[in-house]
Amino acid sequence: MTSFFKTLTLSACIAGAGLAPFGSSPAAYAATSASPEQPALEVVKRFPSDFNMIGVAVSRSGLVYASAPATMKRYSASVVRIDPKTGALVPFPDANWNRFEPKPVNRELWVSVPALWVDDENHLWVLDSSLPSVDQKALPPKLAEFDAETGRLIQIYHFGPDITPEDSLNDVRVDTRTRTAYITNEWGRGGLVVMDLDTGAYRLVLANTRSGIADPKQHLHIYGELARKKDGSLPVTQDDGIALSPDRAWLYYRPLTDHHYWRIATADLLNAHLGDADLDKKAQYLGQSVMSGGIEMDTCNRLWVGDIENHGLYALTLAGDEPKLRTRKVYDNPAVLDWADGFAIAQGWLYISDSRLDEIAFQNSRPLQGPTTIYRMKLPPCPPTTAPSSAPDDTDTGHAKR
């Protein structure tokens, strides 16, 4: 899940607070496929130009939620639910939460929401990273829990000053069995936040470690050239994508602006006696593959990722006795799927948010070619356990571990 824009000013927040509400459009599922050999991507929703969608989540019944982090301007809503009958974007949980003000009185509101996720108890988790340009004493980062069907607020968890404005919480997964939330930190010190949902206590772990921050020798490339932010600098994004294994035994994670993939046993993350040096030794390096933002794992232990440098959708699997990823391209049509940024799995479907950030976020971006879009693809069956670990078009990038 990628969020390069975090430079919102208070004046922009105030000026944009009164934008008109969303219009509505009919809900439709239009199939798109590059060739008969590729799976079809169905269009769930195309978004208006004032909603740069990144986050996606889907409830057990199929309700689709989306979020748009605050950027240089504030949108008319930060979190929406797509009306299943009309396709209209309904501010979630209501318009008041989506009405920004720099000093709110006795109410909660969204500041900048990069990530949504629905757990196995059908609860919707909304991660609000806040912004360095706002007063984080008044508007701290937070994690909010809702009933994914009714929208009822269940709990809000706030983060204190130890999560600094130089940090930026980016994506979340929740283990309902251990009542633990795992959150990536994409800025500053990087690393992971481990939160006890019964007490609200949390720890930032793996900060400034080999798996917590992006490899400084690698950089994001767009159209074959180095991507540069609007100020001309190279983007550096620390731990970004995150996924839980189906048995909840492993947490998979990765920095955005390198090609490295990592995992660590959740039992180790839950052991408060292990410090960063200990956890760093226990983090397993899985090798290199495509540079992806969000990641998600299905019940077949396939890790679904997008290639933000060359476009496309990939399935990663572990091969051999040593934990090492194998990469298989599943979908490749840049005219349709540009920047696969976030994922959700529900009812046998993989939902994909196409944020088109390569056409929005950079100094050397090309003109915007289309709207941000949520697609969905029917998940293929689990491969037989006796099947080879790689397909003919699998690739092992062969890069050396740093």
Q: Name the pLDDT band for 63 (thresholds 50, 70, 90).
A: very high
Q: Name the pLDDT band for 41 (thresholds 50, 70, 90).
A: very high
Section 325-344 average pLDDT: 92
Contacts of 64 (CB under 8 A, 6+ apart): 44, 45, 56, 57, 58, 81, 82, 84, 351, 374
Cis, bond preceding 93 (omega within 30 deg of 0) = yes
Confidence (pLDDT) at 367: 79
d(CA 184, CA 172): 7
Share of the chain above pLDDT 90, in %: 69
Residues, the chain: 402
Share of the chain above pLDDT 70, in %: 85
Mean pLDDT of the chain: 86
Flag whether 81 is in a domain. yes
Within its chain, how far is the Cα of 304 from the centroid?
12
Flag whether 384 is in a domain. no
Confidence (pLDDT) at 351: 98
CB contact at 8 A, 228 and 362: yes
> Of the candidates 217, 212, 306, 218, which has an alpha carbon nearest to the alpha carbon of residue 251?
212
First to last CA, the chain: 24
Flag whether 394 is in a domain. no
> Of the candidates 259, 257, 266, 298, which has an alpha carbon nearest to the alpha carbon of residue 192?
266
E strands along 335-397, which residues?
340-346, 349-354, 373-378
| Beta pairing class for 250-255 and 260-265 | antiparallel
pLDDT digits (tens, 9 = 90+) for 157-173: 999 999 999 999 999 99
> Of the candidates 383, 95, 54, which has an alpha carbon nearest to the alpha carbon of residue 186?
54
> Of the candidates 29, 39, 58, 43, which has an alpha carbon nearest to the alpha carbon of residue 346?
58
Confidence (pLDDT) at 230: 86
Section 272-295 average pLDDT: 95
d(CA 260, CA 262): 7
d(CA 154, CA 161): 24
Flag whether 398 is in a domain. no
Question: What's the CATH code of the domain at 241?
Answer: 2.120.10.30
b/e per residue 194-213 (b: at least 16 CB within 10 A): bbbbeeeebbbbbbebebbb
Q: Name the pLDDT band for 392 (thresholds 50, 70, 90).
A: very low
For the purposes of burial, counting CB atoms within 10 Å of the CB of 329, is it exposed (0-12), middle (13-18) or buried (19 or more)? middle
Minimum mean pLDDT range among 255-269, 277-291, 357-371: 357-371
Within its chain, how far is the Cα of 292 from the centroid?
10
Residue 357 DSSP code? G
Q: Name the pLDDT band for 3 (thresholds 50, 70, 90).
A: low
CA trace torsion 18, 20, 21, 27 (10° rounding) = -150
Confidence (pLDDT) at 150: 97
The answer to whether residue 83 scores a pLDDT higher than 60 is yes
Minimum mean pLDDT range among 15-19, 111-115, 204-208: 15-19
Q: Name the pLDDT band for 11 (thresholds 50, 70, 90).
A: very low
pLDDT digits (tens, 9 = 90+) for 338-354: 889 999 999 999 999 99
Which has more confidence, 32 or 329? Answer: 329
Confidence (pLDDT) at 50: 85
d(CA 213, CA 239): 6
Which has more confidence, 215 or 362? Answer: 215
Which has more confidence, 386 or 218? Answer: 218
pTM: 0.88
CB contact at 8 A, 330 and 346: no
Q: Name the pLDDT band for 175 (thresholds 50, 70, 90).
A: very high
CB contact at 8 A, 203 and 180: no
Count up the domains in the chain and report the number. Answer: 1
> What is the extent of the structural domain holding 153?
10-378
Contacts of 230 (CB under 8 A, 6+ apart): 362, 363
Which has more confidence, 189 or 18? Answer: 189
Q: Where are the alpha helices (DSSP H) in 245-351?
A: 266-269, 276-282
Residue 264 DSSP code? E
